[in-house]
Structure 1
Amino acid sequence: MPSSERLVLRRWREDDRAPFAALNADPEVMRHFPDVMTRAESNALADRLDAAIEARGFGFWALEVAATGRFIGFTGLSVPRFDAHFTPAVEIGWRLSRDSWGHGYATEAARRSLDVAFSDLGLTEVVSFTAVENTRSRAVMRRIGMTRDPDDDFDHPNLPESHPLSRHVLYRVTPEKPDETAG
């Protein structure tokens, strides 16, 4: 499994379920998603995420702080389960507990995930998308070298057009795109 200096990206464990359910039930963490999740929904998501890692060798890995072993969310690579103008594709994404925000964890883990995407998997492009208003995730996308073309923005097919989160921005990165914050 990929790791970084401060973080471990790994397979999911049973003891991840309670803190994962807590972050999925936090209205602030889930602000840019249609709704918070119940414990059962969160557990089902953890099962799907781990099954994807088993099937593909990559996915949204459980994320823990190396120094403490504390679970703080997930970061990694996934294949979107909907049709859009940019699919099929591999996306990079993250979801971290609120007390983990502002420490650079999402950026650090995302950079390591991109290393896996381009070096280990040989991908030629990775995408990321979020609701227009999600400025925190958009900032991470820019920090890891992703760029946006407004012509790529789209209405998420799993949300009604009238939903306030329907409009999404799409960012892309290729292995040739250097990380603008490196060095």
Structure 2
Amino acid sequence: MSLQTKRLLLREWKDEDVEPFARLNDDPRVVQYVAKLADRTAIEAWINAQRDHFKKYGYGLWALEAQGNDGLIGFCGLANVPYQAHFTPAVEIAWRLDPAHWGLGYATEAASVALSFGFVRLGLSEVVANAAVGNSASRRVMERLGMSHDPRDDFDLPGRAEGHPLRRQVLYRIRAEKWLKKQSRDEAQEPQAG
């Protein structure tokens, strides 16, 4: 299963994605606010877990390509939150991009098509997203998507020790009705060809 936008392809993972994903995982800018996978074995296990998630649930974190670009530039998609928190069980939207593709609107574009898939095709009622408190770039994407933040929802990531820089997380939410209303408004504002 794959999703497509004007500029992006969200597709299933391939074996040849291991090397480019390993390079992405080794970039300190990429893993500044997320957990780094320990080694190639962990990377292969993570990719296999994504494949299994798709098989089990019909959605997951898609491998991300730019149209006309030959290869993986990151990932984006929907996944079940894998830990217990005050807002779980829940489905989250997540993304990670190669820094060469930052600042082009790709995260927002990919997340938009993934959210539409979740709300329209899967019938989800709500999707959440979280980020380390200092991850302002991801927070801006969440806000562009129309997600809402209530500081009372912020939480400590399970398994992170006191003082760990990734422990405190902000939580954003969006409900299906808000997303669908936003999409209708955005489509009405698009210039018509004439």
SS in structure 2 of the partner of residue 176 of structure 1? helix
Alignment partners' CA distance in 2, 1:130 and 1:167: 8
* Separation in structure 1 between the aligned mates of residue 160 and residue 182 of structure 2, nearest angstrom: 32
Q: Which amino acid aligns with 1:120?
A: R
- 48-57 or 108-117: which moved more? 48-57
Residue of structure 1 in register with 2:120 after alignment:
119
2:86 corresponds to 1:85: yes
Which amino acid is 1:127 matched to? V
The 5 Å alignment of 1:126-145 reads 126-145=127-146
Q: Is the helix fraction higher in 1 or 2?
A: 2
Bigger-Rg structure (1/2): 2
Contact 2:37–2:43 (8 Å) recurs in 1: no
Measure how far apart 1:158 and its partner are. 2.3
Give per-residue Cα distances to partners, 1:89-113, cap 9 Å, x unaligned: 0000001111111111110000000
The aligned residue for residue 24 of structure 1 is 25
C-alpha separation in 2, matches of 1:72 and 1:105:
10
Equivalent position of 1:59 in the other structure: 60
Q: Is the 8 A contact 1:125 1:175 kept in 2?
A: yes
Aligned partner of 2:101 in structure 1 is 100
Q: State the 1:81 CA deviation.
A: 0.9
Paired-residue identity, %: 46
Q: 1:36 to 1:55 in 2, by over 3 A?
A: closer
Considering only aligned residues, what root-mean-square deviation do their CA atoms show, in Å?
1.5
Q: Which residue type is aligned with residue 80 of structure 2?
A: V
Q: Distance in 2 between matches of 1:142 and 1:179?
A: 12
Describe the superposition over 1:118-173 as per-residue Cα deviations: whole angstroms up to 9, x where unpaired: 00000110000010000111011001110100000000012112212100000000
| Residues in 2 aligned to 1:107 and 1:135: alpha-carbon distance in whole angstroms | 14
Give the match's secondary structure for 2:31. Answer: coil
Note the C-alpha offset of 1:36: 5.5
- State the match for 2:39 in structure 1: 38
| Mean Cα deviation higher: 95-104 or 33-42 | 33-42
Q: Is the 8 A contact 1:92 1:128 kept in 2?
A: yes
Cα pair 2:90 2:127 within 8 Å, conserved: yes
- Paired with 2:91 and 2:55, the residues of 1 have a C-alpha distance of 16
Q: Which residue of 1 aligns with 2:152?
A: 151
Q: Which runs of 5+ in 2 are unaligned?
A: 190-194
- Aligned equivalents of 1:9 and 1:37: distance in 2? 25
The 8 Å contact of residues 61 and 76 in structure 2, kept in 1 or not, is answered as yes
- Tell me, yes or no, if the aligned pair for 1:10 and 1:61 is still in contact at 8 Å: yes
Report if the CA contact (8 A) 1:126-1:173 is conserved. Answer: yes
Partner of 2:6: 5
- 8 A Cα contact 1:25 1:37, kept in partner: no
Which residue is equivalent to 1:48? 49
TM-score, with structure 2 as normaliser: 0.89
